Structure 1
Amino acid sequence: MVSDVVIAGAGPNGLMLACELRLAGVRPVVLERLPELTTMNRANGLVGQVVRMLDRRGLYQPLAGESGPPQPMPAFFFGAVPMDLHTLDDNPFYLIRKWTGSGVRQDAGGAQGSRLWFRRRVRG
């Protein structure tokens, strides 16, 4: 089978990229070094525009455990520096806390037709 794009890693970004590419007619293959998909917490949460993208795909509410659309964060810490965001006209900061990714991982590969190859390392 021919692939148009190789994606390194079946984490949240890799799987969502695979889904988006499939929706655009591109044939990705996702290479993951682990033996299977995991629900291990790889991050403290998801922040930024990926939250809005998840909402557009109907995944925000099940992952965030909240009803309604995502709301911009009033403040954010960049390193140790607090940032007051409530004055921005178009605040780009959104957050899903304590995200494990299991909901995206259940749907991402198979439902969109992306191929996932496990025990594969990308080097170079």
Structure 2
Amino acid sequence: MTTSPGRAGRPADLALTEDGTATPLFDPPARRSALGLLMKGGTALVAAVAGVISMTQPAAADCLGSPCCSLASCRRCSGGCNYSCPSGYYRRYWSCLAGVRVIWCGECTSSSSSCWAGSFYCSVWWDDAYC
């Protein structure tokens, strides 16, 4: 049994028998095999999950566009990571993750005990890598 030459000098996927007929060197996979269906299903699942993740948006109340803070005020505190609060307001800050990035969130609130209470003068957020 010998192989016949293929295109561009490569051997073809056929073998010539002694009577001159060509036979495949391997059995081609069925087009609708279980493995093929699993591969297509897995691809569809990954695409669906990626679509859901990519549609994630900042919280509706966060009008400053932070990736994960959910800030209370639309007024931006000046100074970024070195922000300060006016008299009568307290500096409160916390962190969250946006993918693998650490994001810091801050607000000036009238509450001395909680960042969830009081009135909010301003809000700010910054990427930990830049401060």
Q: Same fold (TM over 0.5)?
A: no
Structure with more helix by fraction:
1
Tell which has more relative contact order, 1 or 2 (C-alpha 8 A, sep 6+): 1
**Larger proportion of strand:** 2
